[in-house]
Structure 1
Amino acid sequence: MKIPFYKYQGAGNDFIMIDNRFLAINHHDPAMIARLCDRRFGVGGDGIMFLQSKDGYDFEMVYYNADGQPSSMCGNGGRCIVAFAKQLGVIDTETDFLAVDGPHHAKISADGNWVSLQMIDVDTVTRDAEAYVLNTGSPHYVTFAKGLTDKNVYNDGYAIRNNETYKVKGINVNFVEPEGEGYFVRTFERGVEDETYACGTGVTAVALAMARDKGQTGTINTPIRVLGGNMNIRFNYDGAKFTNIFLEGPAELVFGGEIELLF
């Protein structure tokens, strides 16, 4: 079955996009998903998304990690699928869609390259020694790191993700260093099992954890630099709950083509 696909990237986090509103693709095949995401034997990507019809919403986002397994929420993927939906003519400049962690609202710029995605509210932040642990649609571990530019994020992230506490369910590991008015962040992602150029739920977790660490409340804007570019997280925090959380950044079409699917 030969079908069209598109490749999108959001601050270097890259995804394969497939319009599945009418194709009725049965995509529950981990081996095939992993092959499509393989950077040598497939299209290549940190994950793959199927845009599907869903009653009551503009569309549904179905996401798989690069290892072929269904994933928890992907923030940059959510922003990219909004840009994809605009390209398809499914939406104009605003949308409400359904993802694995529930409904999401998003706005996209007129040129289609900047997406603001509302994330789930967060009311639980715990500690693991000096690190913060919280769920922003996916579980995240947030820890400070000095000399982050030269840090071996793969080795250190792999060790934390696979320690006795997290090895069964996995966790995304974010290393953060203050930079200017914001932060520099590098992330080891479960499912990809490697460092990625950006992680949307990860930078969101970092922004919330840093507000908690600094004792900030009110309306907060947090610029964050990742390997793939610059992002922004804005939210409200009353000292107990984070609300009106928006993950903002670029979402760009890289290329498109056709591929044979053997589902």
Structure 2
Amino acid sequence: MTIPFYKYHGTGNDFILIDNRQLTFPKNDTKTIQYMCNRRFGIGADGLILLENDNLTDTSAEKVDFKMVYYNADGQESSMCGNGGRCLTAFAKKLGIIHTCATFLAVDGLHHATISDSDVVSLQMIDVNEISFQSDYVFLNTGSPHHVTLVDDLDQLDVKKEGAAIRYSKLYGQAGSNVNFVQPLSDNHFRLRTYERGVEDETLSCGTGATAVAIAMQALGKTHASLIDLAVEGGKLQVSFTVVDGRYTQVHLIGPATFVFEGKIEL
């Protein structure tokens, strides 16, 4: 089998993107997805994303342009990926499916996105109604579960070791959680590093993680801004939101979605 693919990244969070509107990709073949994402033997990526036709009924109130099916590098279908959703929006534009606006279906529901001429994508994330505040961390779900903790020196932190210890702890059980370490830089500017479950390592960027950090910092009173600048290892992201009575709506993840190359792989 020969599979055409496209490689994109969102601030260093990289993905294999496949047009699967004809449903030819072996979706249940975990080993094939692992192989394609492997950085030594395959193409190499943090995850693999299929673009498919949506399966909503004709009675839906909104026109859906496409469906997003996301797999982590371990080959397992996973929860929402913010940077992946931004890259898939850019991919849909490249395929001519959309122009400047998109509505697509993901595992956590409908998402709206806009894309500029320079491929900066603003992706609307899910509302956040619940935040768990603990003595030394915050937990919230932004489409994927995220543990957020403040640290004094990100450069000296062993993110893989410390992140794995939390991810595999009794705190989150078998399902685990993504883990974010945050260092404030100014009132509305934060630096973060993220350990991602499914990749089981630090990634250069995590969109749902950046979203979680921005909301957590505002909820903790570390900032009063509603537009947060975030420095990730692979670049810069922004998160904007509206907050009323502790409920976060109109949440947008904003940043570049970059085409890298396209090719074909023999399986």
TM-score (norm 1): 0.95
Alpha carbons 2:219, 2:246 under 8 Å: kept? no
Partner of 1:229: 235
Of residues 148, 151, 174 in structure 2, which corresponds to 1:142? 148
- In 2, Cα distance between the equivalents of 1:140 and 1:128? 13
Q: Which residue of 2 aligns with 1:92?
A: 99
Matched-pair contact (CA < 8 Å) for 2:122–2:254 = yes
Q: Letter of the aligned partner of 1:177 in structure 2?
A: Q
Q: How many residues align?
A: 259
**Aligned residue in 2 for 1:69:** 76
Distance 1:215 1:196 in 2: 25
Give the drift of 1:223: 0.3
- Residue identity over aligned pairs, in percent, reads 52
Q: CA 1:176–1:216 in structure 2 vs 1: closer, same or farther (change >3 Å)?
A: closer
Please say if 1:21 is aligned against 2:9. Answer: no
Q: Give the Å deviation of 1:239.
A: 2.9
SS in 2 for 1:192: coil
Q: Aligned with 2:65: secondary structure?
A: coil
* Structural mapping, 1:150-189, within 5 Å: 150-180=156-186, 181-189=188-196
> 1:179: how far off?
1.1
Of 61, 71, 87 in structure 2, the residue corresponding to residue 80 of structure 1 is: 87
- In structure 2, the partner of 1:106 is 113
Post-superposition offset of 1:201? 0.2
Match of 1:116 in 2: 122
Alpha-carbon separation, structure 1, partners of 2:83 and 2:66: 17
Residue of 198, 201, 208 corresponding to 1:194: 201
- TM-superposed deviation, 1:167: 3.7
RMSD (Å), alpha carbons: 1.3
Which region of structure 1 is more displaced relative to structure 2, 194-203 or 149-158?
Answer: 149-158
Query: Which blocks of at least 5 consecutive residues in structure 2 are unaligned?
Result: 57-62
In the aligned structure 1, how far is the partner of 2:80 from the partner of 2:231? Answer: 21
AA in 2 matched with 1:28: N
Q: Determine the C-alpha separation between the residues in 1 that align with 2:236 and 2:246.
A: 28
Tell me if the contact between 2:93 and 2:99 (Cα under 8 Å) persists in the aligned partners. yes
Offset of residue 23 of structure 1: 4.8
Return closer, same or farther for 1:189/1:196 CA change in 2, 3 Å cut-off. same
Query: Structure 1 CA distance, aligned partners of 2:26 and 2:4?
Result: 15
Structure 2 residue matching 1:158: 3-state secondary structure? helix
Residue 44 of structure 2 aligns to which amino acid in structure 1? G
Code of the residue aligned with 1:169 in structure 2: it is: A
Residue matched to 2:254:
248
1:255 CA displacement: 0.8
Q: Secondary structure at the match of 1:210?
A: helix
Taking the TM superposition and a 5 Å limit, the aligned residue runs for 1:251-262 are: 251-261=257-267
1:196 is aligned with what amino acid? T
1:24 CA drift (Å): 2.6
- Distance change in 2, residues 1:168/1:3 (3 Å): same
Q: How many angstroms does 1:215 deviate by?
A: 7.4
Query: Residue 49 of structure 2: SS of its match in structure 1?
Result: strand
AA at the equivalent of 1:83: A
How far apart, in 2, do the equivalents of 1:246 and 1:7 lie?
A: 24
The list of structure 1 runs, each at least 4 consecutive aligned residues, that deviate by more than 4 angstroms after superposition, is none
